Amino acid sequence: MFRLHLIPYGTKFDIVGKSKYFFSLALFLVVICLSSIAFKGMNYGIDFKGGYIFEVRMPTTPDVQALRNKLGMLELGEVAIQQFGSPEDLMIKLEKSEEGEGQALAIQKVKGALGSGVIYKKVETVGPKVGSELVSNAVKAVTFALIAMLIYIAVRFEWQFGVCAVAALFHDCAIMFGLFSIFPMEFSETSITAVLLTASYSINDTVVIFDRIRENLRRFKKMPLRELINKSLNETLSRTTLTATTTILAVLSLYLFGGKIIAALALPIMIGIMVGTFSSMFVASPLLMFLNIKRTDDKKDIDTHPIPANING
C-alpha cells in the first residue's frame, strides 16, 4: 500500500538545538505586529467603523465594478459590494466617513445612484458604538478561547504543557491580528473567524506533539529531555507537514475559485495554518526545555519497542 511521506522516515533534526533562532524569529514577528497595532491601528472594515448596509435586488444583472465606481463618486466613504444568491442580489456597504452626509441624505443619495426598479430588502445603519462593541467582543472571544485551552491542556497534561501551548497561541493570535494592521487586509467579522480557526488548528497540532512527548516520557525515562523532545518532534514531523500541506491546498482552492468574498477569508486562514504549524513545532515544544517537567525515578528505560514514526500520522 502506497503511503505518502513528505518528510523521510527516521529524520533526526536538532530542532531544540536551534530553538534560540526560532524563538528570536517568533519574538521579532510578535513585536512587529503588536507595534503596528499600537501605533498604526487595525484596518477595520465597515462592520467596525460604522456605515450603511443595503440589501437590494437589481432589475437586471449589474456591472459590479461600474456600480462601485458610481457609488464611490458620491464621496460618502469606502464602498464594498457583494453578490449573494442570484446575480441580481447585492449587499452594499458604505463606510460612514467623519465628513459624510447625514443618515437620511446619504441613503437618499445611494438610492438615487442605484436608479429605479430596485427592490430594497434591507437598509441598516451601523453606528460606531456597534463597531466598538464588535471589537470588544472579538478580544473577549480570543481571550476566553486562550483561557479555555490553557485549562484543557493543563488538565490533560501538566501545567507546563498548558503554559507552552498558550504562549504559542498568543504568538499565533498576535501575528494574525498584526496582518490586518500591517497589510491592506480589511478586518471584519469574518476575520475573527480566521483568528479563532488559526488558534484551533494550532492547538490541535500542539496536542498531537505533546501527546507524543508525554508518551516518550513514559517510555524513555532516562533519556535527556532535549533528546526526547527532538525525538518526539521528528516522529510527528511527517504527520504535521502532511496535514498542513493538504489543508493549505484545500483552502487555496477556495482562495482561487471561491470568489472575492471567500478569498478574503481564505487568505488569512492559509497564513494562519502556516503560523500555527510553525508555533506548534518550533515554539511550544522547545519551550518545555525551560520548565521543570516531572520525570519518573525509574532506573531503566523501557526502550524495547521503539514507537513507529507513522503513529498519529
For 32-42, write each residue's pLDDT tens digit.
999 999 998 88
Residue identified by cell 467623519 is 98
Is 26's pLDDT higher than 90?
Answer: yes
Is 20's pLDDT higher than 60?
Answer: yes
Question: What domains are there in the chain, each with its CATH number?
Answer: 16-42+130-290 (1.20.1640.10), 51-126 (3.30.70.3400)
- pTM, to two decimals: 0.74
Winning range, highest mean pLDDT, from 30-34, 51-55, 69-73? 30-34
Helical packing angle, 159-182 and 189-219, nearest 10°: 150
pLDDT of residue 251: 92
Is 145's pLDDT higher than 90?
Answer: no
Which of the 8 DSSP states describes residue 5?
A: -
Which residue would you say has higher pLDDT here, 302 or 205? 205
- Supply 102's cell numbers: 447625514
Q: Which residues partner with 44 through β-bridges? A: 187
pLDDT of residue 92: 81
Question: What is the overall mean pLDDT for the chain?
Answer: 80
Is 310's pLDDT higher than 70?
Answer: no
Whole-angstrom distance, CA of residue 271 vs CA of residue 313? 22
Which residue would you say has higher pLDDT here, 153 or 19? 19
